[in-house]
Amino acid sequence: MRRVLLKSVVALAASAALGGVPALAAPPIEISLYYPVAVGGPITKTIDAMVAEFEKENPDVKLSAVYAGTYQDSLVKALTAFKSGTPPTLAVLLSTDLFTLIDESAIVPIDGLAATAQDRQWIGGFYDSFMQNSQTGGKTWGIPFQRSTIVMYYNKALFKEAGLDPEKGPANWDETVAYAKKLTKLDASGNVTQWGIKIPSTGFPYWIFQGMTTPNDTILMNTAGTQTFFDKPGAVEALQWWVDLSAKHKVMPKGVIEWGTTPKDFLEQKAAMVWTTTGNLTNVRTNASFPFGVSMLPAAKHPGSPTGGGNFYVFNKTTPEQQQAALKFVRWATAPQRAAQWSIATGYVATRPDAWETPEMKKYVKEVPAAEVAREQLKFSVAELSTHDNQRVTKALNDNLQAALSGSKSPQDALKDAQRESDRILRSWRR
């Protein structure tokens, strides 16, 4: 009886191999993606659509998107899950989280997963400006996804009303002050009803500050993430200019300006010019009731902006099969056509030159020339501030920038204090 049963099993297996009996399909590999946004809204719909399309094209992978809140929330949740032994397979986190994730042994090098020549060619196809916050120690740890630079948005109607060329933003710091004076309006009682400019100083003050230090030929950290240069003369000069916009020139509100309300103030025409991320382009396009322009940040010695935004990271303590499935999704999501679609849908900068050569992107740029400003600014862009123990280092700088803007410290004293604290935090990393 056993012999007959064994023969039947062997025959069934042989028949399946020859296509006579359908073999059982292997279950899909399950992976998760932590994404930095609260549940709901246009971005989540875009991500959900991408996930559905990917799964349709790759039925061997089951991808679950977890909307984890802010970038900070997402980092905390991802690291907590990692330490508890249940990490996400994949996460979109800030490019500046690179050293933190490496120090926690939370992520694996992307080039360690990229086994083929095509994989390696793909890694080499991103803009170098974006890769500066994605590589260190000769390895690639992150893949640029929703990346940005800082740009200036300006109200063309208010420019025209003030006698300014509505097709050109201010080219340099002096022009910015001159334009802002013409654009600042007072009522009969001397109260400001329209500010010439608003530059936010919460959320990412250090990043906005780099929009002033970069064109002033001042880099704030070394590439190893072990040293900062906050109190260099060029940095002090940049912070003095920022402070003077409100304290001396009276063209910007005093004190701290909220990151989140800056685009809203622009849309409500409470500010004629604002600095914010290129990631706000779709929001402004959708909601502006007036013609607007987008220009590079004003130059000091030359133009320039830091890059910003999020990278894909593949997490450690996941199976090799999950990591390869994650790599498949990252490659799929950053392919030229999808990088173009993502840029058009969100306003983030398409991270690869070949994405700009797609028919979709060429059509979009023709319709929305403002989208090309960020790409052109990449020629002058530098890495966003990122160090070991990055959150403590950036907090030291942020707190002191806000102290200078609120008038409780001079720019020079604020940056000396920030550098002193940074030196203390990073001392162990320089041994």
Alpha helices, H only, 224-335: 233-247, 262-267, 281-287, 320-333
Terminal C-alpha separation, the chain? 74
Distance of alpha carbon 76 from alpha carbon 304, whole angstroms = 31
Which residue stretches of the chain have pLDDT < 50? 1-21
* Cα dihedral 354, 368, 176, 308 sign: negative
Which residue type does 304 have? G
pLDDT at residue number 5: 39
pLDDT at residue number 26: 83
CB distance 369 to 380 below 8 Å: no
CB distance 385 to 133 below 8 Å: no
Instruction: Annotate 411-422 with DSSP letters as a single string.
Output: HHHHHHHHHHHH
DSSP secondary structure code for residue 96 in this structure: G
Distance of alpha carbon 135 from alpha carbon 185, whole angstroms = 47
Distance of alpha carbon 102 from alpha carbon 3, whole angstroms = 57
CB distance 298 to 173 below 8 Å: yes
Distance of alpha carbon 159 from alpha carbon 368, whole angstroms = 19
CB distance 148 to 278 below 8 Å: yes
pLDDT at residue number 431: 74
pLDDT at residue number 6: 41
CB distance 368 to 401 below 8 Å: no
The separation between CA 73 and the C-alpha centre of its own chain, rounded to angstroms, equals: 15
Cross-strand pairs, 152: 275, 295
Find the helix or strand (DSSP H, E) in which 275 lies. strand 271-277
CB distance 389 to 226 below 8 Å: no
Cross-strand pairs, 308: 148
DSSP secondary structure code for residue 234 in this structure: H
Distance of alpha carbon 186 from alpha carbon 193, whole angstroms = 5
CB distance 144 to 131 below 8 Å: yes
Residue (of 315, 321, 325) closest to 51 by Cα position = 325
Instruction: Annotate 97-157 with DSSP letters as a single string.
Output: GHHHHHHTT-B--HHHH--SHHHHHHHTTS-HHHHTTTEETTEE--EEEEEEEEEEEEEHH
Tokens representing residue 250 in the block: 């009276």
Q: What is the pLDDT of residues 366-425, one digit of tens each?
A: 999 999 999 999 999 999 999 999 999 999 999 999 999 999 999 999 999 999 999 999
The domains located in the chain, with CATH, are 29-148+308-380 (3.40.190.10), 150-306+384-430 (3.40.190.10)
Distance of alpha carbon 387 from alpha carbon 221, whole angstroms = 8
Distance of alpha carbon 136 from alpha carbon 130, whole angstroms = 13
CB distance 202 to 261 below 8 Å: no
Tokens representing residue 284 in the block: 């402004």
